[in-house]
Amino acid sequence: MYLLFLLVLFAAIGYFLAGSRLGDKVDQTTDKLSTSSRNWADRVEDKFSTMINKRTKKDSFRVWVAGPGSESFLDEFKIWLAGLSDQEAQSFSHGLEDYANGLGFNLHMLMEGSLDRQPVLRQVFVETIVVYSQAFRKAKQARKEAESADQEQVKAPVTEPASGNGKKTAGKRSNHHKDSVPAEASNSASTA
């Protein structure tokens, strides 16, 4: 008898909780959990498909852009991507994948055609890829310019203030970057 009473009591409590605000919060939490589980499952699937296919997903992106995805991109982008070295292409694809995941996009879904049923979302994703590629190019160019400026600064002799014997020492670099001036900057300052 007590068992039947407890069963009815717990059923009534469950019924009231399901209709209350707590029940709504439980439903929201369940929805979030199922969404994150789906995202996790997609990531695991991506990893396994990468392991099964001998080529990496990064290489397959470049192949996809040259093949089935070519109608989505302008020729300028396709030529630029094809002209990258393997290491640069992998660096770009890896960064693109991280960037896309941060925005809630999945590169694998785009390549497999899952977004073909959502043309607006697909177009936004393609535009996101193009924008990322422009930022990637600018960052690469800035790094290259900074490295060449550093190399020129190392090659240019830096003179230190005269020592007690009146001689200037050339070729020594100061530990303070503010004190050392590249040759181009001193030439442009003297002509001004």
116 and 42 together in one domain: no
Predicted local confidence at residue 58, as pLDDT: 46
61 and 37 together in one domain: no
Chain segment 105-139, per-residue pLDDT in tens? 888 888 888 888 898 999 999 999 999 999 999 99
Q: What are phi and psi of 15, to 5 degrees?
A: -65, -45
**Nearest residue to 61 (alpha-carbon basis) of 76, 119, 72:** 72
Spatial distance between the Cα atoms of 18 and 108, rounded to a whole number of angstroms: 38
pLDDT band (50, 70, 90) for residue 56: very low
Residue 138 near residue 144 (C-beta atoms within 8 A): no
User: pLDDT at residue 177 above 50?
Assistant: no
Predicted local confidence at residue 132, as pLDDT: 93
Residue range of the domain that includes 41: 20-52
42 and 58 together in one domain: no
Q: Which of 17-26, 55-64, 144-153, 167-176 shows the lowest mean pLDDT across its residues?
A: 167-176
How many domains does the chain contain in total? 2
Judge whether 111 lies within some domain: yes
60 and 36 together in one domain: no
60 and 80 together in one domain: yes
